[in-house]
């Protein structure tokens, strides 16, 4: 039965690709190019953006104003992708990204979403009791005096977090800073540490 479903899925996918080409929406080479770009994407790209924002005030301003333009500025292709918003963590505010409906995620910048991001448990607990979830699942304790904002990533608008730069990293190069930024830091479930 699964072979039959797989065959039907492949036929449907080919039919959709054929219609896209026939209507002049996307050629087979454009579709292949977009798949290859997405397959190459990884959290390392987002970490490069974060490190540059930590060291370059003009880039930080661009990133906060238009995440897609900031991604393009360092060579991350965003053509055809939903807009990318960037949420800045501060000493007074911590942002947490979730997609409450499915798994909307800034794939062009961070790659494919981690398995837990798509789970019903993460999606529900992130909205219902985010502080407890962060503490229990990631050992990320957000102090009571810090506002915790949960932001819903959608099919129309994707979000990532610009985490706080850790103390003790003054004078570090962008490469060294990027090496300490984890995927969870850019979702808001973890906080970068040295």
Q: Would you name the residues annotated as active-site residues?
A: 99, 102-104
Q: Are 160 and 187 in contact (CB under 8 A)?
A: yes
DSSP state of 104: -
Evaluate whether 181 touches 46 at the Cβ level (below 8 Å).
yes
What's the CA angle centered on 192, arms 177 and 76, to 5 degrees? 55
CB atoms within 10 A of CB 15: 10
Q: How many CB atoms lie within 10 A of CB 135?
A: 13
């Amino acid at each position: 039965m699964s072979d039959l479903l797989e065959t039907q899925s492949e036929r449907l996918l080919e039919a959709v690709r054929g219609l896209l080409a026939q209507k002049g929406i996307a050629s087979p080479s454009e579709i292949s190019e977009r798949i290859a770009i997405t397959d190459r994407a990884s959290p390392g790209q987002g970490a490069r953006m974060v490190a540059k924002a930590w060291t370059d005030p003009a880039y930080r301003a661009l990133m906060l104003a238009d995440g897609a333009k900031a991604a393009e500025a360092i060579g991350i292709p965003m053509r055809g992708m939903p807009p990318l918003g960037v949420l800045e963590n501060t000493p007074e505010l911590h942002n947490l990204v979730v997609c409450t409906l499915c798994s909307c995620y800034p794939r062009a910048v961070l790659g494919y979403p981690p398995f837990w991001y798509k789970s019903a448990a993460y999606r529900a607990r992130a909205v219902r009791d985010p502080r407890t979830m962060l503490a229990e699942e990631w050992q990320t304790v957000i102090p009571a005096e810090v506002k915790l904002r949960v932001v819903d990533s959608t099919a129309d608008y994707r979000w990532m977090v610009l985490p706080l730069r850790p103390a003790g990293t003054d004078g570090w190069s962008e490469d060294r800073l990027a090496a300490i930024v984890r995927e969870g830091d850019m979702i808001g479930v973890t906080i970068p540490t040295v």
